[in-house]
Amino acid sequence: MKISKTAIPDVLIFEPEVYGDARGFFMETFRQSWFADIGLDLGFVQDNHSASGKGVLRGLHYQLANPQGKLVRVIHGEVFDVAVDLRRSSGYFGKVVTATLSAQNKKIFWIPPGFAHGFLVLSEKAEFVYKCTEYYAPDDEHSLLWNDPALAIEWPLDKIGEPKLSGKDREALTLAEVPLYS
């Protein structure tokens, strides 16, 4: 397993070893020791799986009282994935890290607690799976506006046109308006 730091060192990209032949492939997608070996003591409590069509943008979501760390990957299709540091005490507050995740590149993205997360589907369909360090709490979910100019996220909209958003994502708040972590 190759583990790479991103522009925000707490956000990591995992590139698994893939063993393939004419029958298909095999790879490990999670091993607790990967985190223990780099000094992170994490417990995952929930797995999620979503499917979305081309142009669907989900996010940017976070939980404030029960922040979730997320280990995310794509098992079908391709997405543009985004993590935004919302930890006021961080030297990277308001900074963004992006990664293209696909069934082909098999990259796995680690987004620690304290970040907003979202993704844009670039393929006709994408299936997205992720492990969470805290349970989903709908009463604690918050949404950061996906196109807030303060974030300057370079969404690849040229590939999909206008994104398809949920009502809550259309009504999300800007970085200046959202409740934040300490």
| Catalytic positions, written as ranges | 61, 130
Candidates 95, 68, 71, 92; CA nearest to 83 is 95
Sheet arrangement for strand 57-63: 96-102, 78-85, 115-121, 57-63, 141-143
Q: What is the dihedral of CA 121, 153, 145, 124, to 10 degrees?
A: -10
Q: d(Cα 145, Cα 171) in Å, to the nearest integer? A: 8
CA distance 116 to 119: 11
| Distance spanning both ends of the chain, measured CA to CA | 33
CA distances from 57 to 19, 92, 155 (A): 32, 24, 10
